[in-house]
Structure 1
Amino acid sequence: MKNLNQYILMMFIVLFTACAKDLDFFDVNGEKMLNFQLISPATNDSLILNLGTPNESIDFDWEATTSGLGSAITYTILFDNVDGDFSNPVFSKESNSNGSTNVASLTHQELHDLATSISSNDGFAAAAWTVFANNGSPNIVSARVKHTILISTSSNGVSKNELIFPVDNSYMLIDGNNATEEYIFSWEKASATNENEDVKYQVLIDEVTGDFSKPVISILSNNSGLDNKVTKTHEEWYQLFDKEEYSYGSFKWTVRAFTNSISVEYPSNVFCFETSNWILPLYIVGDAIADIEGSSGWLIDQAILLNGLSAKVNAGVVNFRNDRNNAEFKFFPNIGSWDNGIAATEDLKYIGNCSQGDGGNFNYTGDNATNVVYVNLNGKMVTVTDEIYLIGGSTVADGDMDKAIPFTYIGDNTYQVFSYITTDSWGYKFLPTRSWDGGWGLTEGTSDKITQNNAQDLKVNEDGFYRVAINFSDGTTQTEKTDWGLIGSATAGGWDTDQNMTLLPLSGDQYKGTYTWEITTDLTEGLIKFRANDDWAVNFGDTNADGSLELGGSDINVSEAGNYTIRLLLAPVGYTYSMTKN
C-alpha cells in the first residue's frame, strides 16, 4: 500500500510539471468579455442621406464592453442583409479612433454605397447592423441583438454653405428712424446633385435656446425662395418680430436649403436683436366716425390719424356718431390701404364706448360725441370714451367713483381739470370711465408720460389749487399749481399787474372740493380778464359775453366804474364768473 501511494504521488508530480510546461507555451491575451447592447440607430429607424454633403457623417453607437483583465478592446461595425448572419458582411469598418471607441461615424457616401449594394431600387434599402468586440483572445463577442434599419438609396442631395450676414455674435438694430431702409440677410449658394432640381431657401430665426423645430420666424428668400438673400425694410422686420411680441432678445438664424426631394440646414449664427424708435401712426375709419364724409363713412382715403405715443400705443380725440346704419370702426396702419388692419378680437379688452363687433370691426356704443381713442396694443386694450375722470386719495374724490372729477375737453387733443390736491394719501390717477379699468398713471421712470401698463400714482409736492392737463397728441400730463388774478385796463394795475384773488375754502380750512376764487376791488370803465400765475399761458375771457368763460376768450367789458366783488368759478361742470357791484 505504501508503494502504491508513492507511485500516485510521483505521477501527480510528473503531470503537474507537464501542465506547467504546457502553460509556459500558451499565450494568454485576454479574458472573456461581457455582452453589450446596440443603442442608435434603433431598429426601424430610417436614415435619410444627402449626397450634397457626402462627407458628413451619421454616428452609430453602442454600450461599451469590458474585459476581465482590462485588456484593450477594439470594435468593428458590420452591416448585412436583414436575413444575414454577418459571417460575410456587406460592409464592415473599425469604430472611431482605430476601433477603440464605442462609436462609429459613417459618411453619407459610405452609407449610400452600402444601401445601393443591397438594393438598386430608388427608395430605401433594409440592412441589419451589429458590432463585434475583440480583445485579442480567441473570444469575439457581438452585441446581443442586431438592429434593422432603412437607408435611403437616392442619389439626390443638396449642399450647404456658409452664412454671410448677419455674422455670428452680431447686433441687429431695427430702427424706426430708418423704417424704409433695407436690412438684408444673405448666405452662400447651395447646389443640388440633380441638376434638374432648383434649390430654394428658407430663413429660420429662433430663440438662442431653440432648435429650429418651431422657429420664431420662417420666411422664404427673395424671388419665391430662389435667391440667396432675404431683403426686408426695417419696418417689415419690425412687424415680423412684433407679431411674435419681441422687441429685443438673443436669437440665432440659419438657412434651410431644399429641393423637391431633400433639405439641409446651414450652420447657424447668433445675433442680438433690438428695436428702437418705433412710435408709429395709426388711422381710424368707419361709419361711426363723424368727420369722414359720405353716407357710409368707410372711406379709407379719409381715415383719421391717431398719434403715435409710444411703441404700439396710439391715441387721439375723434368725433363719433351713432346715427348711421351701423356704428362701427376699425384701425389701419396706413391711410388709403386696407392692408394689415387691427381687428376686434376676443383677446382684446374693450373700455368705454366700444365693444367687439362682427367681421373684425369695432362697435361704437356711445352717443354722438367727442371721444378719446386710446389703442394700447401692449396691454391689448382699446379705450373709447367721452369722459375722463380725476380720482385719488389726494383729491376730494378719494377712491369714490361717484365723486370722480370729470375733465373738460379744451381742443388740440387736450383735456384739463382744476382741483385742489394735497400731499397726503396716495396721490391721483386718471380714469376713462367710473371704474379702475384702463386707468392712466405715470410711466415708471418719467415725470410726465402717461400709461395704462403698470401705471404709477401721480403726486404733488405741496397742497394747492392745480390745473391738471392730459395731452393725447404726445401722451403727456402736466400738473401745475395755479394762483389766480384779475388783470386789465379796468383794474388798478392795468394790463401790467395782476390783482390777486383768494381761493375760498369749502368750509373752515378745508379746500378739497372748492373751485371758487374771489376778489373785491375798485374797477373803472374798461376791460378785464382772469389769468393764472401772472402769465398769459392760462387765461380766461368771455367770448360770447354770456357769463361762461373760455380758455383764451375775449376781454370782459366793465361798463360802469365802482367797487365790485368778482368771483371766478372753475368747476368741472363749466367755467363761469360773476360780478357784483357793492
Structure 2
Amino acid sequence: MRKIMKLTGVMLLAAIAAVSCKKDEHPLDLNLTPVGTLATPNDNVAVKLEPTTNANVLFKWDAATTADGGLILYEVAFDKEGGDFSKPVYKVLSDGAGTQTQVTISHKDLNKIGNAAGIAASSTGKLKWTVIASKGTNAKTSTTSHAMQLERPAGFAENPAELYLTGSATEGGTDLSKAIKLKKTEEGVFEIYTALKTGDYILTDKNTEGGKKYYIDNGIIKEGTAPTTVSGSEKPYRLNFDFTSATAKSVEIRSIGLYMSAYGTEIGTLSYIGNGVFEAPKVAVEFYQFSWGRDERYKFIIHTVAGNEYVGSVNQNNDQPAGKPASYFYLVPVVNSQWDNTYKFDPSADRKNVKVDVMLQPNAYTHKVTVL
C-alpha cells in the first residue's frame, strides 16, 4: 500500500512539473536593432603603429537594442578599404567576453590586422571597421563604418615561434629534417653560431614541409623561397635575424680565446669543430702564484672580423665549480675587465692539460673544461 501511495505521489509531482513547464514556454525574441553610432576612434583617424610597445587603441560604440533587453554580443570587424564586411579580414570579440560596447586593441594586433588588410610593412594604408551585434543566431552588421589609416613599421606582423636554417651552404645540407635550429634570444629575434660554405640557404619556421620560408635581400628579411647565396671557403659565423625590424646581420668568427685573468692574456685558442662548438683539445694550465695564494680565474674572448667580444659568467665573482649547477658554466656577454665575470678552474687543473669546449647552441650558451 505504501509503495502504491509513493508511486502515486511521484506521478502527481511529475504532472504538476509538466504543466508548469508548459506554462513557462514562450518563443525567444531574437530581434535587435544594429549598432548605429561608432564613438571612437574617429573616422579617418591616422595611427602610427608601434607594435613593440604597450600602445593600444580603444574602440567604442553605442549599444544595439532589443525589445526584451536580452543579452547582446559584439564583434569589431575589419575589412579592406573597399570591402563591404561580407567577408571581414579580421574580427575581434569585444571586452567582457563580447558583452561590452568597447574593446582595447594593441598596436601589435593592429599591425596583424593591417597586414591582413593588405597594408605592407614600412608603408601606410587604409582599412575600415564596424561592429557586428548578435543575439542568438541573429547577427546584424552596423550600417555605419569608420576608416583608419595605419602606418606600419618595418618587420613582420607575426614573428615565427621557431626558426631553422637549411640549404646546401649549411652544416645540415638540403635535408629539411636536418635543418639547424636557431636560438631565440627574445620575441622575434634569433641567433646562431654555425659554419657556411659555398652554396645557398633559406630560413623556415618548421623543419618539415609546409613551413613559411624567408630569405635575405641586402640585409632585409623577406618572406619567400628565393635562397640566399654564399660564396668562398667554409667559415664559422654568427647570424642574427630580427623579425621585429626585418633585419639580418652576420659576422665571421675567427676563433675564441681562453683568457686567464692573472696573466692578463690568452693561454689557449678554441677553433670551430661544428654544430656550434668551438674546441681547444689541449691547453696547458698553471695557476698564477700571488702572495695570498694561486689564482685560477678565466673567461673567453670571441675574435670576430668586427673586433673582440668578451663572454663570461653572469656573476661578477665566482667560487670554485665543484658542486655548482649547470648554470654556473653559462656564457653571457661581459665587459672587458681583467677580473670581473670570470670562472674558476677546478683545483685539479693546476699544472695540467685541459680540453676546453664552448657550446654556442640553441638550448644554452655554455662551456666545459675537462682535465686530461
TM-score (norm 2): 0.49
Larger radius of gyration: 1
Higher RCO, 1 or 2 (CA under 8 Å, sep at least 6)? Answer: 2
Structure (1 or 2) with the greater strand fraction: 2
